[in-house]
Amino acid sequence: MNGLVLGIDVCNEFSHVSYYDKSKSLPESVPFIGNVNILENPKKLEDIFSQSAPVGEDIEEIAGILGYIISAARKHCNCREIDRICITTSQFDITVLDKFKAACIKLGGDMEKIEFISHEECFAYYAFNMHRDLWINGVVLMDYSSDGLSACRMELVNVKGQNVIAQSGYVTHTEEQLMNALRERTDAVDLESVQDLLLNCAKEVMDGKATSSVYLTGIGFDTTKLPEDFLKYICNKHRVFAGQNLYVKGACNCAWETLIRRNDVLVACHNRLPATIDMDIVERGKNKIFRVAQAGTNWYSSSRSVDFIVDECSGFTLHIQPAGGQKPYDEIVDFSDFPYRTGKTSRINVTFDFTGDDRCNITVKDKGFGEFVKSSGKVIYRTIEL
Amino acid sequence: MSGLILCRTKEAANPYYISNMDVKIYSLEELCYYIYNNIYLIGMDLVDSKLIDFVRNEVQEEKLAARLEYLVEKKAGLAELVITILKYVDFYTTEEIEQIRGILATLNTQNVYERLKARADRFMVNECYYAAIRNYAQIINGKKDPTLSVVFYSDVCHNMGVAYARLFLFKQAQACFEEAYALSHHEDCRKCAMAAERLAINSQNINHVEFLDEQTEEEYVLSREIETLMDNAMYSDEYRYLDELQKSKENGNVSLYYKDINDILEKWKGQYGKYTG
């Protein structure tokens, strides 16, 4: 593990990169030209992914940004080898992520070493890696960016002996007033004009709940002048931090924890699967359970494709176990439409495609059995909601 | 026990070709299936450097490849090689593998020529005539085993004759049947030899005169019997189908005729490829 462990945050207008300093056991920012820790994207993400952009150009643009960022990190750390990269972006949806993935492949990246997580997950990895006093009673994140104002609260709880970072509140505001304040800014955003909205948003997630720390981030909070009432409210019995690099550092912590296989704490926030999915299989003649996806795993990295040999059956059962302690339930995927074959001469491919943290598209394909049995070409589709 | 078995090893992009049976294998599961269902056909030649390469580079199971390599180097028995493959892949249950072990143990106790014959007979059932001939020839050309009966050698020659006949090599078939008859004096062998001779003459398209005076009564009866069989051929489904095709051509359905003829030729070519594989 002598290679670089990187966290990369590609936002709409700016990007950041940090590396994990193993001697200090914490992430450090990588400076770009001019010794600043922030890189202005050559083009805004919203423009890169706009429908008018030529096909394939978006991947080129993203590859350009990622390539530049990675070479800056390599140069700064004087190391070419990469052990792990965790990439986060403000637009965490399957279309954008697939393009990021394609860009990584274009750059020759080893996808086994690259993962993608959302900003909320980065926050969890950042905040809960700080001193215990800063998170023991829960933490609140407020993010004011071009997507609007969002806030969430997270706390560490124990569910059946398992430590879980649980998200206990999530609100988003996209009122015109908030968006205009951002658009009309000359340098820093005039937060006085949106003070009421900020205050209400903070109250929505914090009222009546103990909180150790409040973190402010996003271009809207890139100012030293916070409205007085809002500041008074968030500073009351809480430590308050403002900064633009908490996501990138959280991504870096995540990359490190994946590398060292730390899995004592389950992160259960937005973009993490709320349930574990298991299925029954037969192994050497005995009934066994095959884990399809683990609760608390990022949905994008949970997609998988597996082949099975069919031994005298026409369907399979998925056991869904919600992480929040709700009652487990079963979903049956039936493929009796496929030709019935004896002698284990049917190979099927089952693809589990997650398109969000609450939805899994299942595709079952009849592959036949090599030259012995031709495939019927039949395919079964199912969607399950978590 | 029913259910789904997880495939833990990858499928190959380039298959392993088993020429004896004209079969392409894409995965270890298919290899297990082939072994299990052709246990009488497989021999030490199954695990060669090509199979080990396939396991190592295509299926990317280095552990199994190294194990097989080691066993081949140590000249391990067929049973051990087969069981190693079957146990490595989660396809057959322990009970099913134990059954195979039992069969392999039986095969190991058989005389080498008995095994070769069992193998060749299996090739015959699977219509792999050339492979069958190769195995029968090994018995005939090998050192005579005094523990084996004359009937055993006669059966080998007879079966080899059948294989040649199915490949339209009637001269060779005739020689085999005659050899079988010389050994066992079995009437069927003589009939087959005569039929092969007649077919050889027909296929060579040479003018042949039968001198009735030189035929024994027995030979005459046999030749009539064969002619009856040949006459009856025109009532077979295949013959009638070909006849109808010819008629449809004469009635103007030329394109249909050529399409069907092409299909038939492709089928025959495929069959012949299998026979000679």
- pLDDT tens digits along A309-354: 999 899 999 999 988 778 899 999 999 999 988 889 999 999 999 9
For chain A, what percent of residues have pLDDT higher than 70?
Answer: 99
Cα separation, B32 vs B89, in Å, equals 8
A112 domain-assigned = yes
Check CB contact under 8 Å for B94 and A285.
yes
pLDDT higher than 70, residue B66? yes
Overall domain count for chain A: 3
Q: What pLDDT is recorded for position B1?
A: 66
Average pLDDT over residues A84-104: 93
Q: What pLDDT is recorded for position B163?
A: 95
* pLDDT: which is higher, B22 or A315: A315
- pLDDT tens digits along B72-90: 999 888 888 999 999 999 9
- Judge if A154 and A109 occupy the same domain: no
- Judge if A139 and A210 occupy the same domain: yes
Q: Where is A290: in which H helix or E strand? A: strand A286-293
Range of the domain at A172: 126-243
pLDDT higher than 90, residue B21? no
Name the minimum distance, in Å, from the CA of A92 to any CA of chain B: 32
Give the chain B residue whose CA is nearest to the CA of A281.
Answer: B4
Average pLDDT over residues A199-227: 88
Q: Give ∠ CA A31-A34-A36 in degrees, rounded to 5.
A: 40
Tell me, what CATH number does A69's domain have? Answer: 3.30.420.40
A167 domain-assigned = yes
- Judge if A351 and A304 occupy the same domain: yes
A59 domain-assigned = yes
- pLDDT tens digits along B200-236: 887 766 665 565 566 677 777 777 887 788 788 888 8
Name the minimum distance, in Å, from the CA of A313 to any CA of chain B: 6
3-state SS class at B56: helix
A120 φ, ψ (degrees, to nearest 5): -60, -45
Cα separation, A338 vs A13, in Å, equals 50
Check CB contact under 8 Å for B4 and A310.
yes
- pTM value is 0.72
Name the minimum distance, in Å, from the CA of B96 to any CA of chain A: 10
CB atoms within 10 A of CB B127: 15
Check CB contact under 8 Å for B7 and A287.
no
Given CB atoms, is A315 within the 8 Å cutoff of chain B? Answer: no
Mean pLDDT, chain A, as a whole number?
90
Q: Calculate the CA dihedral of residues B88, B89, B93, B99 and round it to 10 degrees.
A: -60
Q: What pLDDT is recorded for position A122?
A: 95
- Judge if A143 and A202 occupy the same domain: yes
Q: What pLDDT is recorded for position B109?
A: 67
Q: What pLDDT is recorded for position B213?
A: 60
Q: Given pLDDT bands bounded at 50, 70 and 90, which one contains residue A10?
A: very high
- Judge if A288 and A377 occupy the same domain: yes
Question: Which letter does DSSP use for residue A369 in this model?
Answer: B
Cα separation, A96 vs A94, in Å, equals 6
A268 domain-assigned = no
Residues of chain B contacting residue A342, judged by C-beta atoms under 8 Å apart:
none
Q: Looking at this predicted complex, what is its ipTM? A: 0.79
Check CB contact under 8 Å for A311 and B30.
no
Cα separation, B259 vs A68, in Å, equals 62
For domain B112-233, the CATH superfamily is Tetratricopeptide repeat domain (1.25.40.10)
- Judge if A144 and A234 occupy the same domain: yes
Tell me, what CATH number does A336's domain have? Answer: 2.60.34
Q: What pLDDT is recorded for position A272?
A: 92
Cβ neighbours of residue B152 closer than 8 Å, sequence gap 6 or more: B113, B114, B117
Tell me which of A332, A340, A371 to substitute to probe the interface with B (most B C-beta atoms closer than 10 Å).
Answer: A371
Task: Report the range of poorest mean pLDDT among A6-15, B33-42, B99-108.
Answer: B99-108
A267 domain-assigned = no
Cβ neighbours of residue B124 closer than 8 Å, sequence gap 6 or more: B132, B159, B162, B163
Of B56, B43, B75, nearest in space to B16 by CA: B56
A324-360 core/surface letters (b: 16 or more CB in 10 A; e: else): eeeeeeebebebeebeebeebbbbbbbbbbbebbeeb
Task: Report the range of poorest mean pLDDT among A52-61, B50-59, B107-116.
Answer: B107-116
Q: Given pLDDT bands bounded at 50, 70 and 90, which one contains residue B115?
A: confident
User: Quick one: tokens of A175?
Assistant: 């009122």
Provide the chain B residues 76-115 that lie in CB contact (below 8 A) with chain A: 90-91, 93-95
B261 φ, ψ (degrees, to nearest 5): -65, -45
What's the one-letter identity of residue B80? Answer: E
pLDDT higher than 60, residue A66? yes
- Judge if A104 and A143 occupy the same domain: no
- Judge if A31 and A8 occupy the same domain: yes
A265 domain-assigned = no
B186-to-A95, A245, B151, B154 alpha-carbon distances in Å? 78, 95, 9, 9
With contact defined as beta carbons under 8 Å apart, do A197 and A230 qualify? no
B274-to-A264, B25, B130, B172 alpha-carbon distances in Å? 59, 16, 9, 20
With contact defined as beta carbons under 8 Å apart, do A116 and A297 qualify? no
A218 domain-assigned = yes
With contact defined as beta carbons under 8 Å apart, do A139 and A213 qualify? yes
A47-to-A40, A97, A222, B27 alpha-carbon distances in Å? 14, 16, 22, 46
- Judge if A132 and A117 occupy the same domain: no
Of B125, B185, B137, nearest in space to B161 by CA: B137
**Which region holds residue B178: left if phi is over 0, alpha if psi is between -120 and 50, else beta?**
alpha
Residues of chain B contacting residue A343, judged by C-beta atoms under 8 Å apart:
33, 37
- Judge if A237 and A284 occupy the same domain: no
The length of chain B in residues reads 277
Average pLDDT over residues B166-193: 92
- Judge if A239 and A131 occupy the same domain: yes
Average pLDDT over residues B113-131: 85
Given CB atoms, is A343 within the 8 Å cutoff of chain B? Answer: yes
With contact defined as beta carbons under 8 Å apart, do A367 and A335 qualify? no
Domain ranges of chain B: 16-109, 112-233, 236-276
Cα separation, A275 vs A189, in Å, equals 40
Cα separation, A24 vs A18, in Å, equals 14
CB atoms within 10 A of CB A381: 10
Residue with tokens 């050899």: B179
What's the one-letter identity of residue B263? Answer: D
Shortest CB distance from B7 goes to which of A312, A343, A347?
A: A347
Residues of chain B contacting residue A333, judged by C-beta atoms under 8 Å apart:
none
Give the chain A residue whose CA is nearest to the CA of B34.
Answer: A372
Domain boundary among A235, A259, A283: A259
Cα separation, A267 vs A156, in Å, equals 9
Cα separation, B117 vs B134, in Å, equals 11
Shortest CB distance from B6 goes to which of A290, A313, A369?
A: A290
Q: What pLDDT is recorded for position A29?
A: 92
